[in-house]
């Protein structure tokens, strides 16, 4: 269950391994829609995604992304640094 890499011990759930292909497929489809010129929208909980679908907008839930990265065991520091380079503060 635990994996060792660069002195860091990581653990992953079996369900995370089963869910990850579905998540990758979702993002691949979203990237394809973006290539086709269709709008993509990062949205927060509380926004009815059905409205976005009705407007032919592909919704991606912002809160879910951090959970997906945590489940995969990815270090998010590089993404935080990229966000800061783009002008987003640590409290955003």
For 39, phi then psi, to 5°, come to -75, 145
Query: Which pLDDT does position 1 carry in this prediction?
Result: 45
Residue 79 covered by a domain = yes
In a domain, 29, yes or no: no
- Reply yes or no on whether the pLDDT at 5 is more than 80: no
Judge whether residue 2 has pLDDT over 60. no
Q: Tell me, yes or no, whether 56 lies in a domain.
A: yes
Domain that holds residue 47: 39-87
Angle at 60 between CA 56 and CA 62, to 5 degrees: 145
* Assigned domain for 33 exists: no
Helix and strand numbers, DSSP H then E, in the chain? 4, 4
Q: Quote the pLDDT of residue 17.
A: 79
pLDDT at 6: 61
For position 46, what pLDDT does the model report?
Answer: 86
11-36 confidence digits (pLDDT tens): 667 777 788 888 889 889 999 999 99
Residues paired with 40 in a beta bridge: 58
């Amino acid at each position: 269950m635990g994996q060792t890499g660069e002195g860091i011990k990581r653990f992953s759930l079996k369900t995370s391994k089963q869910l990850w292909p579905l998540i990758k497929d979702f993002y691949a489809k979203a990237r394809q829609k973006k290539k086709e010129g269709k709008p993509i929208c990062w949205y927060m909980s509380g926004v009815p995604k059905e409205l976005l679908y009705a407007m032919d907008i592909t919704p991606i839930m912002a809160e879910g992304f951090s959970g997906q990265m945590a489940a995969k065991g990815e270090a998010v520091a590089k993404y935080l640094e990229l966000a800061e380079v783009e002008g987003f503060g640590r409290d955003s």
